Structure 1
Amino acid sequence: MSRAFVKEDGPDNEPLPDLPISPHPNYVTPSGLAALRARLAETQARLAGLRARAERLDKLPEAAAERDIRYLEARLKSAILVDPARQPAAEVAFGATVTVEDEDGQARQFRIVGEDEAAAGKGWITAQSPLARALIGSGVGDVVEWRRPGGTVELEITAIRYD
């Protein structure tokens, strides 16, 4: 195919819109900061690989990688590292792993982390979540109310630790 018939500019080659940045302070744990840095390095390597392709007619993967790099750089620039060793040992705060017991006696653990580190399957919740807001500031033996769409649940804090 002649290069004369290949579309060089146009909407397919424009940068993708930036990913939304949270309005909340970007608190990060040490592991969250390391994960952000690793994601940036991986994305930069992926972009370099995409740019090295012999066939580069489809620019969308490159545009997506460039967009992701802009997002990750912005998150790293705004990151506020919270040292778990400086958190109040007897009180739930950012970075805490909290063990709670519900009304039925079932124990569960939650870790309060930054937005980019949250993982529901691991029990890692953001500080802005309703559960974290209920837990923050409480201590062992305190009972907190977790207001959920399915109803309010009372949770007793049985342990707090900082990794």
Structure 2
Amino acid sequence: MSRAFVKESDAVEELPDKLISEHRNLVTPEGLTQIEAEVERLQAEHAEAQRLGDRDALQRASRDLRYWKQRLTTAEVQRPPADASVVAFGSLVTLERDDGRVQKYRIVGEDESNPTKGKISYASPLAQALMEKSVGDVVHAGTGEAEIVKIG
């Protein structure tokens, strides 16, 4: 049907999809649980928006649900590393920076990442610098350097 015959109120444009990372969707077991919970929450939000006839909420929920369902189907669960002698996905790494600060980071999936809570994405520059390193190794971290003091 021609656009000329569609009432403005009937026209519902979909929101653009959220960008999906080009990296593998590696997740911890906890990360998978978080994704599953997000899909459940969004399905309920979508149903409620439909019930209320709220087009804006429906569009947002639909877009977010497409993203999280895709992330769920591509999730590759990584078990915690058995060997704590080298940094790997899932490792908890304690660093001592050249300015004396001590920081702990767990290397997790992109959707789990929250640096303020000590979780960094495995695709981040710092995590990439840490991978396969051992206690005593020094890596480039931001504008300085950091020594790995513990791997857990």
Stretches of structure 1 lacking an aligned partner (at least 5 in a row)? 1-5
- Is 1:81 aligned to residue 72 of structure 2? no
Match of 1:158 in 2: 149
Match of 2:55 in 1: 59
- In structure 2, C-alpha distance between the alignment counterparts of 1:104 and 1:19, rounded to whole Å: 38
Stretches of structure 2 lacking an aligned partner (at least 5 in a row)? 1-6
- In structure 1, C-alpha distance between the alignment counterparts of 2:113 and 2:98, rounded to whole Å: 25
Which of 120, 124, 127 is matched with 1:129 structurally?
A: 124
Match of 2:106 in 1: 111
Identity percentage of aligned residues: 43
Partner secondary structure for residue 69 of structure 1: helix
Match of 2:90 in 1: 95
Match of 2:66 in 1: 70
The one-letter code sitting in structure 2 at the alignment partner of 1:22 is S
Match of 1:39 in 2: 38
- In structure 1, C-alpha distance between the alignment counterparts of 2:59 and 2:129, rounded to whole Å: 40
User: Which 4+ residue blocks in structure 1 deviate beyond 4 angstroms?
Assistant: none
Which of 134, 137, 142 is matched with 1:139 structurally?
A: 134
Deviation at 1:7, TM superposition (A): 4.5
Normalised to the residue count of structure 1, the TM-score between the two structures is 0.83
Asked whether the 8 Å contact 1:87–1:93 carries over to 2, the reply is: no
Deviation at 1:8, TM superposition (A): 4.5
Aligned length: 146
- In structure 2, C-alpha distance between the alignment counterparts of 1:24 and 1:87, rounded to whole Å: 24
